[in-house]
Structure 1
Amino acid sequence: MLVRRFTQLVLGTLLLASPATSIPAAAEQVLKVGSTPTGIPFTFLDTKTNSIQGVMVDLITEVGKDAGFSVQIGPMQFSALIASLTSNKIDIIAAAMFITPARKEVIDFSDPIYTYGEGLVVPKNDTKDYIGQDDFKGQAVGAQVGTAFVDALKKSGQFSEVKAYDTIPDILRDVNAGRLKAGFADYPILAYNLKQGAFSDVRIVESYKPTIIGSVGIGMRKGDSELLGRINTSLAKLKANGTIAKILDKWGLKAQAL
Structure 2
Amino acid sequence: MIKTLAAATLALGLGHAAVANEAIKVGVTTTGTPFTFVDTSTQATTGAMVDLAKAIAADNGMGANFEVSAFSALIPSLQTSKIDMISAGMFATDERRRVVDFSETVYSYGDAMFVAADDSTNYTLDGLKGETVGAQIGTTFADQLKALGTFGEVKLYDSLADIMRDVKLGRIKAGFGDAPIIAYQISKTPALGVRLVDGYTPMKTGDVALAVSKENPELLAKVNASIEKMKANGEMAKIFAAYGL
TM-score bracket, normalised by the shorter chain, equals 0.7 to 0.9
Residue aligning to 1:22: 11
Query: Structure 1 residues 52 and 21 mapped into 2: Cα distance closer, same or farther (>3 Å)?
Result: closer
Give the letter aligned to residue 22 of structure 1.
A
Query: Structure 1 residues 219 and 151 mapped into 2: Cα distance closer, same or farther (>3 Å)?
Result: farther
Question: 2: CA distance between counterparts of 1:144 and 1:75?
Answer: 23
Shift in Å at residue 164 of structure 1?
5.5
Residue aligning to 2:104: 111
The more displaced of 208-217 and 123-132 is: 123-132
Residue aligning to 1:204: 196
Question: 2: CA distance between counterparts of 1:155 and 1:106?
Answer: 29
Question: 2: CA distance between counterparts of 1:108 and 1:155?
Answer: 31
Matched, 1:243 2:227: no
Task: After superposition, give the CA deviation of every residue in 1:103-128 in whole Å (9 maximum; x if it has no partner).
Answer: 22232211011122211123335444
Report the count of equivalent residues.
240
Root-mean-square deviation over aligned CA pairs? 3.1
Give the letter aligned to residue 11 of structure 2.
S
Give the letter aligned to residue 209 of structure 1.
T
Name which of 182, 187, 194 aligns with 2:179.
187
Written as runs of structure 1 = structure 2, the 5 A alignment for 1:61-140 is: 61-132=54-125, 135=128, 139-140=132-133
Shift in Å at residue 248 of structure 1?
2.5
Shift in Å at residue 97 of structure 1?
1.7
Query: Structure 1 residues 170 and 103 mapped into 2: Cα distance closer, same or farther (>3 Å)?
Result: farther
1:38·1:169 contact (CA, 8 Å) conserved in 2? no
Q: Which runs of 5+ in 2 are unaligned?
A: none
Query: Structure 1 residues 181 and 92 mapped into 2: Cα distance closer, same or farther (>3 Å)?
Result: farther
Q: Which runs of 5+ in 1 are unaligned?
A: 1-11, 254-258
Name which of 19, 26, 32 aligns with 1:33.
26
Task: After superposition, give the CA deviation of every residue in 1:122-181 in whole Å (9 maximum; x if it has no partner).
Answer: 333544421127725674521364x5535544555666446263x544543454455654
TM-score by length of 1: 0.76
Query: Structure 1 residues 244 and 150 mapped into 2: Cα distance closer, same or farther (>3 Å)?
Result: same
TM-score by length of 2: 0.79
What SS is found at the alignment partner of 2:192?
A: coil
Give the letter aligned to residue 48 of structure 1.
S
Matched, 1:49 2:38: no
Query: Structure 1 residues 76 and 179 mapped into 2: Cα distance closer, same or farther (>3 Å)?
Result: farther
Query: Structure 1 residues 110 and 141 mapped into 2: Cα distance closer, same or farther (>3 Å)?
Result: same
Name which of 138, 149, 158 aligns with 2:141.
149
1:31·1:72 contact (CA, 8 Å) conserved in 2? yes
Residue aligning to 1:230: 222
Question: 1: CA distance between counterparts of 2:148 and 2:30?
Answer: 29
Task: After superposition, give the CA deviation of every residue in 1:214-240 in whole Å (9 maximum; x if it has no partner).
Answer: 221112233432221111111111222
Question: 2: CA distance between counterparts of 1:137 and 1:102?
Answer: 34
What SS is found at the alignment partner of 1:33?
A: strand
Query: Structure 1 residues 249 and 138 mapped into 2: Cα distance closer, same or farther (>3 Å)?
Result: closer
